[in-house]
Structure 1
């Protein structure tokens, strides 16, 4: 179990202190926002609370400025860097999407190549569209029983590096939505030997930095930058995130400049203070907190597997190649042997039992177990899954058993996105080049991305996902009857 020693006093929360002092000072606001500490929108104040609205404020001297921090925000970022073992940290209030895009745009420019897994979140491909970066896709492995996409193997990354020495960076998802972890250290070292930056989308790995016996973190592996979604498993407010980095290949002042290209100049103090408060809790209580989280997840996994039919998988699937490690806090459950797609179980849990899980796909469902969960909630989930099997379980049905479709890339994402295009009935698009994204959300991993050929396999998957009730999004046609393809 890793032990952490901090250089700074992690029991401090400078943004919390500054906002508390602001509230205590009873400042009369003649600046934005226009609700003026909630007085102008009484219904909103009643809904969110006066305490919340009183600190939904604009940048000012005592509260610093996120675009150019010099005082309390600068201190909050220094504390975050120390807590995560990084040289620098940036508070991000545009979600981890903004952090992922800032990472990529900090090391790649128009015409540069980046080695990247195809099962990335759409935010990464969006960065390629915005900047004209050329992807070198590495297909992840596919688990033969579960059908899920896995991590990039280090062997395949090293082969991609050898084949594309001109690439500027290697981009890694770690962990995946399902909890699959790659061999980060080997991949990072391979990237660095080739003079490339190592960028890690660590959106689902906040807890790795604070729990015991957790998979290796990006900073421990020596990566240059990582996007950390604090709101997912760290306890901060939705849309708040961190971008953390090691100095050397990337300059922090340039990263700040890149972040400021797209990040709002009206930064939310609610989001920023939630990052500060959550970081304090993680640094001071994280080990105990995540020991409890792991215990809850392992208990749930055992109980679900005892139901029969379901398979709540864990570290036994580690193969040392595509699955180098596994995040045991992820309660990922295969549902195919009860005759239901994961998305069908998702819908039943929500509609019939009042339980909202993270997502369901064609063969699996995912329940996020984190800092706010308790034993009662776990028991309710387990009991509901048992009832669903009893009432709705079926046998012998032919269900789609995998969720990753290898892409056939015909154009770069930017070329296709901006190319002349026209809508076609979606069933007539096989062989055409998509000008749009098509994805199930969550998780937001594209089935098709701009520049990829619409294969029969991809089309069948899209239609199957729609039939099963997945939220299929991306195209301009919200009904998904038409898809824009390159002329």
Structure 2
């Protein structure tokens, strides 16, 4: 491990700001002078470092100096062969992994409960998804991890597949047996891609589930801004020795901005430094806070805060103890209803509310007093709003049937039909509740009455349904019935 005390991008920006450089380049606000209201809102320091690529500050698309040094330090910190700083969000990291391993007609094995960014990548590159439908926990209404039996079956039935994609951990903290999946995949010659958007902290804490790089995955997308403390939209793409870093940079540059934000880049640099130097202490504190809250919530009655008791050694190989997922069904309210109550009446903003659960994302910036306030609010909601749970939906995810390759469906001849009259048709767009951003329907999938009823129920309960051309989701785009696309 090299010296992790430095932050090359941050230090270069400080050095740059110490000079009286006259800016005849972009951005046009010229260190804030051209937009005083924005400068007053964000602060002069922010505007001073909102600069463009130049020789002293390097260039993200072709790094040679300070960005290259910062990425090297990140690779060392994450125990990876290479690290790429990403400023288009972890969506761009996920899509770069897919673009680098599969092209039109290639097969990629993946759980169906992936983030929309993965399926968007399939629409763009034309690869064919081999879905492993996830195991379900019926009481919680959530999908679990990938069972080894399902992975082995998919690999054996698709010997021509090029890659396998894994969520680890899921939004809810569920972890698969990554090491065994990697072993099976590599034996079959497949690349292993990991979506670790919710797992940055696994690299820095102790007694947490195994990280993707430690398990031998070939690539991993980590959202440094989620549990690592950097600014929103900043991410890191990690690769191991089986991936050519020069080719990977070319793939990344296909969709990467040529005007990378130094606000985001410096936040990645400083957050890496902070987590390396203080991560063990920080994550122990986070785990302790969540464990305290979990015990308090489970003492209330009717709520269920998920914990390690879910572990079964297979579909729930491990559990991320930093996740505070709370099932709300026994108080007769959908998770999204509790989510709305917490925000509107108690000024508490949760990360997620779905049909059955809420999720509090606890990380480096949280305090015990914040969790005490959440627990008190949940007690009050139970007292004021508890009702009979008869008739409530319990399932967060319905296994759809893939009929047409996502790219062919998305770009095919389509027509808009009423949601309630769309049964049996093939969807050409995404339909998802956000968060978590896992599609209820994706392009190329058959619409069933169960799915229609689920969408209607989610709308009724107040879920934000996104991805459709019709913003009110009264109509869905489907393939025309002449079968041409």
Structural mapping, 1:37-56, within 5 Å: 37-56=31-50
Question: d(CA) in 1 for partners of 2:254 and 2:27?
Answer: 22
1:262-309: CA deviation from partner (whole Å, max 9, x where unpaired): 000000000000000000000000000000000000000011111101
Question: d(CA) in 1 for partners of 2:56 and 2:386?
Answer: 59
1:457-487: CA deviation from partner (whole Å, max 9, x where unpaired): 1111111000000000111000111111000
Question: d(CA) in 2 for partners of 1:189 and 1:40?
Answer: 56
| 2:366 equivalent in structure 1 | 373
| 1:146 equivalent in structure 2 | 140
SS of the equivalent of 2:194 reads strand
Quote how far apart the aligned CAs of 1:398 are. Answer: 1.6
Question: d(CA) in 1 for partners of 2:131 and 2:294?
Answer: 33
Question: d(CA) in 2 for partners of 1:139 and 1:86?
Answer: 30
What RMSD in Å do the two structures reach over aligned CA positions?
0.6
Question: d(CA) in 1 for partners of 2:82 and 2:127?
Answer: 25
| 2:177 equivalent in structure 1 | 183
Question: d(CA) in 2 for partners of 1:8 and 1:170?
Answer: 32
Quote how far apart the aligned CAs of 1:354 are. Answer: 0.4
Moved more, 84-93 or 313-322: 313-322
Structural mapping, 1:327-342, within 5 Å: 327-342=320-335
Residue of structure 1 aligned with 2:259, choices 266, 271, 289: 266
| 1:60 equivalent in structure 2 | 54
Q: Which runs of 5+ in 2 are unaligned?
A: 481-485
The alignment status of 1:482 with 2:464, answered yes or no, reads no
Under a length normalisation based on structure 1, what TM-score does the superposition of the two structures give? 0.98
| 2:198 equivalent in structure 1 | 204
Residue of structure 1 aligned with 2:345, choices 328, 346, 352: 352
Residue of structure 2 aligned with 1:116, choices 76, 87, 110: 110
Quote how far apart the aligned CAs of 1:11 are. Answer: 1.0
1:337-380: CA deviation from partner (whole Å, max 9, x where unpaired): 01100000000000000000001101111000000000110111
| 2:483 equivalent in structure 1 | none
Quote how far apart the aligned CAs of 1:397 are. Answer: 2.6
Counterparts in 2 of 1:460 and 1:396: CA distance versus 1, 3 Å: same
The alignment status of 1:449 with 2:442, answered yes or no, reads yes
The alignment status of 1:174 with 2:184, answered yes or no, reads no
Residue of structure 1 aligned with 2:237, choices 240, 243, 246: 243
CA contact (8 A) 2:329 2:389 kept: no
Question: d(CA) in 2 for partners of 1:26 and 1:384?
Answer: 52
1:57-107: CA deviation from partner (whole Å, max 9, x where unpaired): 000000000000000000000000000000100000000000000001111
Quote how far apart the aligned CAs of 1:144 are. Answer: 2.4
Q: Which runs of 5+ in 1 are unaligned?
A: 1-6
Residue of structure 2 aligned with 1:308, choices 293, 301, 314: 301
CA contact (8 A) 2:333 2:389 kept: no
Question: d(CA) in 2 for partners of 1:12 and 1:397?
Answer: 58
| 1:103 equivalent in structure 2 | 97
| 2:6 equivalent in structure 1 | 12
